Copies of this chain bind each other. A is one copy, B any other.
Amino acid sequence: MDIMTSVGLVAGIIVVATMMLLGGDLHLFVSEHAIIIIFGGSIDATMIRFPLGVMLHGLPLGAKFAFSMSRLSARDLVDELARIAEIARKQGPVGLEKVETDEPFLAKGIRYIADGYDMEFIRDNLERDRDNFLCHLDEGQKIYRAIGDCAPAFGMIGTLIGMVQMFANMTDPSKLGPFMATALLATLYGAVVANILTLPIADKLHLKLADEEINRTLIIDGILMIRESKSPTLVREMLIAYLPEKHRGEAEPEPVPA
């Protein structure tokens, strides 16, 4: 689970709620009008923008990945793959049938080896899986960004509608205040949805996209080396050599005087 997304989101809501409570009642800030225009409007405009399939895949996939973590870091994956290479070495493909792993994509690769598929079939299938997955994650990211981009505009539309009604009924100036308060809520909702919810999630998904590409490519490379019965040491060394610098972390060898 990606603690940061959840903590950030909960903390953001607490901050906004605290602000609201400090100056009065929370119910002042509940407006079904604002909810209708912000969520209705943003989702409608996003429906026009993207095909149905993209939205049905992208919204839940984005939410899932924004709040969940890769169970294994790139470094852990290398260790895991070296461990599996060890097992494959000692017990042959059959031994892999009992290997358990938390990462479903890795599990799929292991099953392919255990089932004895050939190299090309494994590469084609895993690469197709990876590309499809990255494509869907990218669509998810774009949908959250599109919502974040148009939410403030719908906030403004909601406020304008409220203000027109307010000015049109301005016979009794004493009612002006509450009307104005309600009108401003739409802008407030739009800004909160964009700045606390959707835009940060889109940015997070953008970062995760790069990580997932590295991890899944690593898994494919590792699985293919295990299929070729490469030694665990070689698997570990070659995979570390592929890693971008910042993921190597603990991999730095102790300096040995020459």
- A residues lining the B interface (CB < 8 Å): 2-5, 7-9, 11-12, 14-16, 18-20, 22-24, 28-29, 33, 36-37, 40-41, 43-52, 55, 66, 112, 115-118, 121, 125, 128, 131-132, 135-136, 146, 150, 153-154, 156-158, 160-171, 174, 176-178, 180-181, 184-185, 187-188, 191-192, 194-196, 199-201, 203-204, 207, 245-246, 248, 252, 255-258
**Contact A196 to B161, CB < 8 A, known contacts A33-B23, A36-B19, A125-B255:** no
Contact B195 A181 (CB under 8 A): no
Contact A207 B24 (CB under 8 A): no
A185 to B157, CA, bound (A): 10
**Contact A157 to B44, CB < 8 A, known contacts A23-B162, A51-B4, A203-B49:** no
Please give 11 more A-B residue pairs, beta carbons under 8 A apart, in addition to A12-B40, A48-B66, A157-B192: A8-B44, A8-B49, A16-B37, A23-B165, A41-B195, A117-B257, A121-B256, A128-B252, A150-B195, A166-B181, A167-B177
Contact A157 B188 (CB under 8 A): yes
**Contact A8 to B48, CB < 8 A, known contacts A40-B15, A150-B195, A164-B29:** yes
Report the nearest B residue to A208, measured CB to CB. B51
Report B-chain residues with C-beta under 8 Å of the C-beta of A167.
176-178, 180-181, 184
Report B-chain residues with C-beta under 8 Å of the C-beta of A252.
125, 128
Q: Nearest chain B CB to A123's CB is how many angstroms away?
A: 13
A193 to B166, CA, bound (A): 22
* Best-surrounded residue of A8, A33, A158 (most CB of chain B within 10 A): A8
Contact B49 A204 (CB under 8 A): yes
Complex A-B: 14 CB contacts under 8 Å: A20-B161, A29-B164, A48-B200, A49-B200, A50-B207, A112-B255, A125-B252, A131-B246, A154-B195, A160-B184, A161-B188, A164-B181, A170-B174, A170-B178
Contact B47 A4 (CB under 8 A): yes
Q: Nearest chain B CB to A179's CB is how many angstroms away?
A: 8
Report the nearest B residue to A10, measured CB to CB. B44
Q: Which 5 A-B pairs have the closest CB atoms?
A: A170-B177, A8-B47, A15-B40, A48-B200, A8-B48
Q: Nearest chain B CB to A217's CB is how many angstroms away?
A: 14
Contact B4 A200 (CB under 8 A): no
Contact A117 B258 (CB under 8 A): yes
